[in-house]
């Protein structure tokens, strides 16, 4: 059986959304063009030439397992074409030595030494003749994270359409499509669906007390489950809003919280922890409720809440500590405010005409002009000296 492997490698300068930059696509077809095997996916750790040789090697190994004869390898990479066809004429790059070593070993061991040796050929084809392998490489580059195998006639995306197009089994106009002939007759309606069974009882019921058959009397009492204002309907369901708290254990309090409540260790936070019916929404202090204290008690992080429960704005009056305040007149006398004369402004609001006495000394003060000084300086009670007019120049 002859087979034709097509191989192509896609390399992106910028990685795709999945982080792929190098991807390979390989497809094996029989002599009639039918797909018999394929593989595609990223090979980010390899160069373009290494990825192409890896794809060719994968196809060769699969053909050897199926005992198929190699006829033609088709690729669009000229460097690989030259190296494989004329290995004795070119120096094989160091990074491709191992790939060519296993490639030649497989051919020598399973084709040249066979009883009916098969010829090995490689062809260089243009891109438009290799678009099936190009599509596989591009699909693996943008949709896969590993190099995967497609055995048999397995297909992905538009691969089957491209295979049919390669064999001439589609129309040239992409908008033209053949549909199944449904005939020209009218469509007969199917039988209507059966009516659903009623859930109302239409026959009499047997009275358990008297044993007679009597009609069932309708109830005049409104069911509480139909009342929209009943709390049971407002809280219907299993979600109670406490699933995210650590003390919640499938509808009941956890064992660690029960032990903490029974020990009385939580009473220092609030008396609510000692009540018979525990109110989880009861306020403790500073916006924290009982549920928050229980949550941190179960986690062992109550130390983080102690500073939050302390009120930093507690103001205690001085009288509570027994401190007596001094009257204002005694404070004024103790600070010698009785002999002070405070200078005042005159009517113009600019000049200052006042005397500030400190003991027996009189300090001179400027007049309205701010230049002439005319004051008396008294030192003691008997000494008086006149000060002549003095003009001050400010440079």
CA gap 8, 17 in Å, rounded: 21
User: Is there a domain that residue 184 lies in?
Assistant: no
According to the model, what pLDDT value does residue 269 have? 84
Domain termination site, one of 133, 166, 199: 166
Domain termination site, one of 281, 309, 337: 309
CA gap 120, 69 in Å, rounded: 9
* 277 compared with 176, residue with greater pLDDT: 277
- Where b means 16+ CB within 10 Å and e means fewer, 22-53 reads bbbbbbbbeeeeebbbbbbbbbeebebbbbbb
Element (H, E) at 5: strand 2-11
Q: What percentage of the chain's residues is helix, strand, coil (to nearest 5)?
A: 30, 15, 55
As beta bridge partners, residue 69 has 2
- 135 and 7 fall within a common domain: yes
- 140 and 23 fall within a common domain: yes
CATH code of the domain covering residue 68: 3.30.420.10
- Read off the pLDDT of each residue in 87-94 and give the average, rounded to a whole number: 91
- Using alpha carbons, select from 141, 161, 106 the residue that is nearest to residue 8: 141
Beta strand 35-42 with 122-124: parallel, antiparallel or unpaired? unpaired
- Using alpha carbons, select from 270, 324, 327, 325 the residue that is nearest to residue 297: 270
- 283 and 156 fall within a common domain: no
Residue 323: which pLDDT band, with cuts at 50, 70 and 90? low
- 162 and 298 fall within a common domain: no
Instruction: Specify the range with the lowest mean pLDDT, choosing from 13-27, 180-194, 232-246.
Output: 232-246
Query: Would you state the torsion angle of the CA atoms of residues 304, 309, 315, 320, taken in this order, to the nearest 10 degrees?
Result: -110
Query: Domain containing 291: what range?
Result: 248-309
Which of the listed ranges 38-52, 204-218, 342-356 does the model predict with the highest average pLDDT? 38-52
User: Is there a domain that residue 183 lies in?
Assistant: no
Residue 316: which pLDDT band, with cuts at 50, 70 and 90? low
- pLDDT mean across residues, the chain: 74
According to the model, what pLDDT value does residue 140 have? 93
- 301 and 378 fall within a common domain: no
According to the model, what pLDDT value does residue 68 have? 77
- 11 and 126 fall within a common domain: yes
User: Is there a domain that residue 221 lies in?
Assistant: no
- 330 and 305 fall within a common domain: no
- 118 and 62 fall within a common domain: yes
Tokens standing for 53? 């040789």
Asked if 49 contacts 55 with a C-beta cutoff of 8 angstroms, the reply is no
User: Is there a domain that residue 277 lies in?
Assistant: yes
- 296 and 346 fall within a common domain: no
User: Is there a domain that residue 180 lies in?
Assistant: no
User: Is there a domain that residue 84 lies in?
Assistant: yes
**What are the tens digits of pLDDT across the range 143-170?**
999 999 998 888 998 898 888 888 888 8
Instruction: Specify the range with the lowest mean pLDDT, choosing from 29-43, 116-130, 257-271.
Output: 116-130
Instruction: Specify the range with the lowest mean pLDDT, choosing from 10-24, 29-43, 354-368.
Output: 354-368
User: Is there a domain that residue 293 lies in?
Assistant: yes
- Using alpha carbons, select from 36, 66, 42, 64 the residue that is nearest to residue 54: 42
pLDDT at residue 327 tops 60: yes
Global confidence as pTM = 0.45
- 155 and 275 fall within a common domain: no
The number of CA neighbours under 13 Å toward the Cβ of 332 is 7
pLDDT at residue 192 tops 80: yes
User: Is there a domain that residue 319 lies in?
Assistant: no
Helix (H, G, I), strand (E, B) or coil at 150: strand
* 217 compared with 327, residue with greater pLDDT: 327
**What are the tens digits of pLDDT across the range 330-364?**
887 888 776 555 555 556 554 444 444 444 444 45
- 7 and 150 fall within a common domain: yes
Residue 195: which pLDDT band, with cuts at 50, 70 and 90? confident
Domain termination site, one of 166, 193, 222: 166
- 344 and 302 fall within a common domain: no
Domain count, the chain: 3
According to the model, what pLDDT value does residue 149 have? 93
């Amino acid at each position: 059986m002859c087979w034709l492997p097509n191989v192509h490698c896609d390399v992106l300068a910028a990685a795709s959304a999945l982080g792929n930059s190098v991807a390979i696509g390989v497809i094996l077809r029989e002599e009639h063009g039918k797909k018999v095997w394929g593989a595609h996916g990223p090979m980010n750790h390899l160069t373009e030439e290494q990825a192409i040789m890896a794809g060719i090697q994968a196809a060769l190994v699969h053909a050897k397992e199926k005992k198929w004869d190699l006829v033609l390898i088709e690729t669009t990479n000229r460097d690989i074409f030259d190296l494989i066809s004329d290995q004795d004429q070119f120096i094989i790059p160091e990074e491709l030595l191992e790939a060519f070593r296993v490639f030649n070993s497989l051919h020598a061991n399973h084709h040249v030494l066979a009883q009916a040796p098969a010829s090995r050929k490689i062809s260089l084809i243009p891109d438009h003749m290799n678009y099936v392998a190009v599509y596989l490489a591009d699909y693996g580059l943008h949709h896969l994270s590993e190099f995967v195998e497609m055995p048999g006639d397995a297909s992905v995306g538009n691969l089957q359409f491209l295979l049919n197009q390669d064999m001439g089994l589609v129309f040239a106009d992409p908008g033209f499509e053949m549909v199944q002939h449904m005939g020209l007759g009218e469509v007969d309606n199917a039988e209507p669906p059966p009516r659903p069974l009623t859930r109302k009882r239409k026959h009499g019921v047997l009275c358990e007390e008297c044993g007679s058959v009597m009609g069932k009397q309708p109830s005049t009492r409104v069911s509480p489950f139909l009342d929209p204002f009943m709390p049971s309907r407002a809280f219907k369901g299993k979600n109670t809003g406490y699933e995210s708290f650590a003390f919640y254990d499938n509808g009941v309090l956890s064992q660690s919280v029960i032990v903490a409540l029974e020990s009385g260790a939580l009473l220092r936070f609030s008396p609510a922890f000692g009540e018979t019916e525990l109110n989880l929404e009861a306020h403790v202090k500073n916006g924290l409720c009982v549920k928050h204290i229980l949550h941190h008690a179960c986690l062992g992080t109550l130390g983080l809440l102690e500073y939050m429960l302390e009120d930093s704005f507690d103001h205690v009056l001085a009288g509570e500590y027994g401190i007596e305040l001094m009257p204002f007149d005694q404070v004024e006398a103790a600070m010698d405010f009785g002999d002070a004369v405070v200078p005042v402004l005159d009517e113009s609001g600019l000049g200052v005409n006042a005397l500030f006495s400190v003991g027996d000394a009189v300090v001179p003060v400027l007049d309205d002009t701010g230049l002439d000084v005319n004051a008396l300086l008294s030192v003691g009670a008997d000494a008086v000296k006149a000060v002549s007019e003095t003009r001050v120049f400010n440079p």
